Every structure is written in C-alpha cells, then in structure tokens.
Amino acid sequence: MDSIVYYCSAKSGSRSWDLWPRNYDYEYEILSGILLKTSVGELNINPSIVKELFLNRPHVLVLGGYFDATMWLAFAVGLILKIPVIFWTEGTKEPQSILGAMTRSLRILFLKKSSAVVVPGRLSRNYVISLGADTRNVFVAPNAIENELFVNASYKYRLHNEELKARLGYKSKVVILYVGRLHKEKGVTFLLEAFGKLKSEIDDIALVIVGYGELYNTLHKLCQEKKINDVVFAGAILDYKQLIEYYSMADIFVLPTLGDVWGFVINEAMACGLPVVATRASQAAQEMIRSRENGYIVKEADAGELFDALKKLVCDAKLREKMGKKSKQIVTYQFDVKRMVEGFMYAINYAIGTNIEGNLIVFA
C-alpha cells in the first residue's frame, strides 16, 4: 500500500511536532500556504492541495478536521474526481464558538457525503451519528501513541524513582502529576483547590505541574494566596526523555480537563504504569479508564470529586500499584498503533469495496 501524507502546516498555535525520535517511513509533504489568524481562530489555506490531488488521483482520500479551508478544497476535489472520501474526526459535541456555528452545515455535509467516517471512541461516534452519519459507515480507530517508547523508558527510570523525586526535594512523598497546557479549559484551578484541601490533611504529598500557558503566572499566584505548598511548576517539557522521567517519578496522574476531544497524556501516563484520575470531559478517560480498576472518572469542574479520588490513591500504596499495572495492560493491548491501523483499514476497505494493496492513499 502506497501512501502520501499532506500537512497543512508544521505547527498549530503553540503546538509543534517532530520533537521526538521517529522513523518516518512514509512519504509526506508540508503544503505551502497561508495561515490566517482571525477573531474566531486560525485558518490554513493551502490552494496547492488542488493541484496535488489532480496530479496524483488517489484511490481514497482521508481528511482530518473541518475548520481549515484546505479540507474544504480537498473534499470538493474528492467529490469532483469521484474519489472515496473518509472523514476522520475526534469531535464529541457542538463547538461553542462563532466558527463552530458557521461550520455546522459543512460538518453535516462532510458526514453525509463521505464514504466512511473514522472516530477514536464512543463519544465521537454518538456525535457524528447525531449529525446524520450512517451508523454503517462509522468505524472506530482508537487513538494510540508509541506505547513501546514510553513503556521501555519508564521501566528504566522507575528503577531510580526515589532518586528522581529527590532532585525535586520530594523523596518518599507521594507525587501527583499533571501534564498539559495551562489554559482555563484544562481545569487546573480545580486541581489546585482539591490538592490544597488534600495537603491540609496529608503532608507527605506533592503536586508537579508540567506545561505552560496563559494561566502560568495566575496559578503561581493562586498557590501563594491560598498558601498551597509543595506545588512544582516545571514549565513546558519538549524533550521526550525528560517528560518520561516525570511520568516515572510520579505515583498518580491527574487530568482535570473541562473539555478534551481525546487527551493523549492519559495514553502516556498509562503506558508509564500510572493510575489515572480524569474528568468525564476527556474522551480518552471514558475510553481508557476502567473505574476502580486503573483509576477514577470524576465530574468536570468538581474539586470535591477530585479530592475524594486522589485521596483514595494517596492513602493506599497497594491500590496505586495494582491500578498502575492495570493501566499499562489496558493501553498495551487495547490502545496500540496496530488497533488504530485496523480501524482505518476497515474504513478504507469499506469505502472502496476492495482490497487496497497497491493503491495510493492521501491524508490531508
């Protein structure tokens, strides 16, 4: 099977890729284009995708996302050339924005006109069906990371767990870890509230926050005002080895998000053998956390439920160990790249109605 991947840009807002070691054994190209920053968000326009599709005439076209004009162009060309289009989306609910309202009709059109739809989990599946997607055309390809990279590195680092904690001055303490952007929608203020209450009852705990964002200074100030001790702001970590060190040093992982279409940090934490506490607002949490087996799912924006779940884990080392092992087992056998690929292959075979070997697949 031959394939070519087209990227609309190398970066998206504060996010960037190609920071970790990967062996790219596929053909890809970053399209030239224009990035427009508007009051309703960023828009990529890559007119060159039209030329690429007319020249290459792929047997199937996989499109991810619906906010960029480039996707609209590619979708239109696919219909004109009668190329089966597979729409890949992680959306779980209606976007609460002007851009979301403006693109609703386009989302519905994409879903109804696509030969197949690929989603990562049940929340996305229910959402696309509610917009009119045919249940027979919807396929699940669970989001996955390079599990082996995290599993192997964390195994090595965990042998020196206490040494890693000692670097931060928290040897023998139970470390709770958060990894992610420091923005309002991530719910970190509720985490600090829950941790502050927990800290007033149990002294031998620490909270490590890995990430950066617009609330960085605000959260610092909040800790000072509320006198919440033993909170470490590690900043943004771009080196994968250093990031896995933090996962390996931690005893509990928490994602207090108010809304995440997925939440790959849950994949990462589970691959490193951590029990996970996350809100139901994360699709990854609802797909990957088995309540009371490898963690707890709590209500979003509820510091009380966060406190209760974290306290159970902080106070029970055997429970943490048991749940951590279960996390690694779940992510290894149910959320690996092989299963994700299988989901796409089912969708592709369904879309073109035959074996795809030798055909060209284009991702945009």
Q: Using one digit for the tens of pLDDT, what is the confidence trace for 92-127?
A: 988 877 777 778 888 899 999 999 999 999 999 999
Which has the minimum average pLDDT: 132-136, 200-204, 225-229, 354-358? Answer: 354-358
Sign of CA dihedral 321, 323, 325, 331: negative
Which has the minimum average pLDDT: 180-189, 248-257, 311-320, 349-358? Answer: 349-358
Residue at 194: amino acid letter:
A
**Integer CA distances (angstroms), 174 to 9, 152, 171, 265, 360, in order:** 41, 23, 9, 20, 51
The residues, ordered by sequence, that sit 6+ positions from 364 with a Cβ below 8 Å of its Cβ are 6, 8, 49, 61, 62, 63, 64, 70, 71, 74
The residues, ordered by sequence, that sit 6+ positions from 98 with a Cβ below 8 Å of its Cβ are 39, 40
Question: Structure pTM?
Answer: 0.92
Q: How far does Cα 255 stand from its chain's mean position?
A: 11
Residue at 131: amino acid letter:
L
Q: Using one digit for the tens of pLDDT, what is the confidence trace for 122-166?
A: 999 999 999 999 999 999 999 999 999 999 999 999 888 888 888
DSSP string, 27-50: EEEE---EEEEETTEEEEE-THHH
User: Domains in the chain and their CATH numbers?
Assistant: 2-144+337-363 (3.40.50.2000), 147-334 (3.40.50.2000)
CA 183/CA 256 separation, integer angstroms: 11
Please indicate whether residue 18 or residue 26 has the higher confidence score (pLDDT).
26
Please indicate whether residue 28 or residue 213 has the higher confidence score (pLDDT).
213
CA 273/CA 152 separation, integer angstroms: 11
The residues, ordered by sequence, that sit 6+ positions from 203 with a Cβ below 8 Å of its Cβ are none
Whole-number pLDDT of residue 355: 52
Per-residue confidence band for 349, with pLDDT thresholds at 50, 70 and 90? very high
The residues, ordered by sequence, that sit 6+ positions from 337 with a Cβ below 8 Å of its Cβ are 144, 145, 146, 147
DSSP 8-state code for residue 68: S
Going across the sheet that includes 2-7, the strands are 27-30, 2-7, 360-363, 60-64, 85-88, 116-119, 138-140
User: Across residues 81-93, what is the average pLDDT?
Assistant: 94
Three-state SS string over 301-360 comes to: CCHHHHHHHHHHHHCCHHHHHHHHHHHHHHHHHHCCHHHHHHHHHHHHHHHHCCCCCCCE
User: Across residues 177-191, what is the average pLDDT?
Assistant: 97
Query: Tokens 């879903």 identify what position?
Result: 111
Please indicate whether residue 110 or residue 299 has the higher confidence score (pLDDT).
299
Q: Residues 255, 282: contact at Cβ < 8 Å?
A: yes
Q: Residues 224, 217: contact at Cβ < 8 Å?
A: no
Q: How far does Cα 332 stand from its chain's mean position?
A: 16
Whole-number pLDDT of residue 10: 73
CA 172/CA 175 separation, integer angstroms: 9
Q: Residues 313, 320: contact at Cβ < 8 Å?
A: yes
Torsion angles phi and psi, residue 349, rounded to 5: -60, -40
CA 315/CA 339 separation, integer angstroms: 35
Q: For the chain, how long is the longest CA-to-CA vector?
A: 66
CA 206/CA 33 separation, integer angstroms: 46
Q: Residues 85, 72: contact at Cβ < 8 Å?
A: no
